[in-house]
Structure 1
Amino acid sequence: MANLQVSLLTQKRIISFTRSITNYYRLLENDFLETNWEALLMHDTVEENWEVFKSHLLELSRQNSVSRTFTRSAKKPWRNHQILQMVRRKKILWKTYKRTGNEMCYAAHRTFSNLLASNVKDSKVAYEVRLVNSKNPKCFYKYIRDTLGGSVRTPQIQNSVGTLITENEDIAKVFADSSANQYTIEPLDSPPDIATPQCGVSLSNVDFIEDEIRVKLQKLKRCNNNF
């Protein structure tokens, strides 16, 4: 018997973007100074020399830069201007600690980080309360759709012995076995007995007398005329 358990996990919408960050300014400066500009800028026109200079400078910058991928939530309407300023302040405090290594700078960063987390929580709660109390229900339901409108992924499936299944064909087989186990397979050669209803009294004969039928019909006609 296949032991199947499926769990659906909602994910918030995440926006990923990549930025090129130049961290090695000294190396860039050395490469810039070591460039033989006289041999490089030997074209007749200023426009051509400018294109060569710009291309070479961009190439040096690319060689001394690193690419980093950042992620952020697609939409956080409760992040007002004050919250954004506090986020920038938190980053500045962290960079100060990384540069100096001072424990006081780290303590200041942790204190401010806790304050920011508390303000973000209060701001989110206040925003949701405003949506609930709003006279326009569309804003509330839009917020619900945006919150739960992320992609839904299915975790990996395990079979009865606890082994993870990754192949689509094996996953389909586990689903099929789990569905088949919900039904009972009956033998085709010996179908089960069907219990027929038992009647204590049966009618052996029904007699129709013409006079009695006429009387009944006359009563029906009189009832219809009264209505």
Structure 2
Amino acid sequence: MQMIDLANDFNLEQMVTEPTRKNNILDLFFTTNATLVEKSIVIPGMSDHDGIAMLIINTSPKRNKQKPHKAYLYNKADMPGIKNELNRFSNEFCNKSHTISGNVSVEEMWSEFKSHLNTTMDKYIPSKIMSKQNKTPWISPTIKRMQRRKQRAYNKARKSGNSSDWDNFTSIRKDTHKVTKFSYRKYVRDVCLDSKKQFWSFIKNISKDSTGISALKDHGALVSDNKQKADILNNQFCSVFTQEDIHSTPNIAQNTTPPIENITIHTPGIEKLLKDLNQNKAAGVDGISPRILKEAAHELAPILSKIFQASLDTGELPLDWRNANISRFIKG
């Protein structure tokens, strides 16, 4: 118990999961950073050991690699063309949904709106595939020229061996380091002052650790697989919900509160909400950027008001509205 308490106090995780002597684990390996351990295997042992634990350990944490994704260049977008196209589609959509609203589900209405909006964005907004972010944005073209000059001076000094060439290389290296250090500090200072989003983006880019959620125990077994950990947390969240007994509901007295009137969604209200969106926020599960919703609020408001009204009237929610991206936050 003292070893377990010690491991818990210092956030240590034991990485050897297979027995090394009969059904017991005698060889232990504790670490505070589980991402350093790539693999743990047991090889045939010697003497009274059935096996010896061998761990493959990375000498440095893995970098978080950004997956290639499509990025729209909104600064080069043809906004008049987008608004004209969406205005035409809005008139067509509202007239159609008004006449056959009883035969069209909310899911179909949302899918049609989403599909046409994505098609319009692809047509009028240039895009490019972002494979990775610039890890050193403080390195200016001037600094790059100084770095190339430093490399040429080093190659020359190494080839000639003259002390004067080495002195020249040392001087250029000192100047390059000084300018680079000043540029880095200026970039960090500007990022911290500009916005919280840029600051945390910078912190994420320089982060080398990808610990995620530590291993979890399920019925006494240590679970490290990401999907299994997600299932464990999901089951835990579900277990705290109240399970109502629907077979013995109490008798409810007559309700004297007047019933609520039918809720009507008005287009001006939806337009106002769209214009109040923060365009710097990321898109949700549906992939629709708040920027396009805000820029084309007047054209999109009639469409969305029809979809929202249909959702209220039928009690139906599109699949995108029932999904969410969930991130864990460490509570202090």
Q: TM-score, normalised by structure 1?
A: 0.36
Larger radius of gyration: 1
Which structure shows the bigger proportion of residues in helix conformation?
1
Tell which has more relative contact order, 1 or 2 (C-alpha 8 A, sep 6+): 1
